[in-house]
Structure 1
Amino acid sequence: MSNSRIKECYNRFKDGRTSVDSEPRSGRHSTSRNENVIEQVWTLVMEDHRMTVRELAKEIGIRLGSVHSILSEDLGMRRVQAPYSPDMAPCDFWLFPKLKMPLKRTRFESREDITRNATARLITIPKDAFQKCFQQWWKRWEKCVHYQGDYFEGD
């Protein structure tokens, strides 16, 4: 808190104020957190659990911060993130270290030399290693489709 804010609070308490809460202000009151809007947020979230806060705000026509407040304070919801998600990385990721390590710290004279050495290294990797990689990747995709993208653990 800034020194000016501290002095302001001190003077208010010195003058007899007993609460740190703000006093009611004149002007238009907030309309974004009423029962109707809270019900709209609840309905949209229950219809589509994957709807983002941004999408909710746009759909209802209220500020992003108001949606956050409604979700957390009024509806008691919190953001949940799965501790595990299946490895859906492209199936050839395992290939990069197999190419990189043997070629590491080697200086090549030309691009053709790099291509020749990388191709020679690729040829040494057995076909069944590639097939196994694609089969494992396919199984992971099937599992995600089976569970319709929902959370699951283990194999």
Structure 2
Amino acid sequence: MVMLPGQVLAAPTSFPHVIGNALLCLDQVDSTYFKKYLTDNFQTPYKIEGGAYWFKIDSFLYGGKITEIFINTESSEYVFLGAVMEGPQDSLKIKIEELTGIKFFQDQNIETLRSPPGSFLIPYGSGKSKIFCVKRRIYGMSTNNKMRIT
């Protein structure tokens, strides 16, 4: 498949289950698996920035539009999977709770919301939010250690 510059591919039918569960920390975050999944379905990352591979996509999840997905690089201290979604944090929080029953609560940082399973929801630029699951990498493996966002 040849992808034109700026072209965004639609997500596969497995996307809501595979990506959705991982973003909410309901499933294992395996960066090797997710990099292959994203590359197979969305081509190569359009950028590598902030210790992450970034993929442009055009899909909906939890009632919000996802425009980008990011996964940690191999050299990152953390294992993470995240998405940039259109819509303010409060709106996405309500939609996720209605659709999944998972609630987000204010973390120590006033702008950061965290769910009991460990996912984060933060404001990102104007009218967008980031949702992500992050775990500290220990000896090449991930664990459920908490990471404070500052």
TM-score (norm 2): 0.25
TM-score (norm 1): 0.24
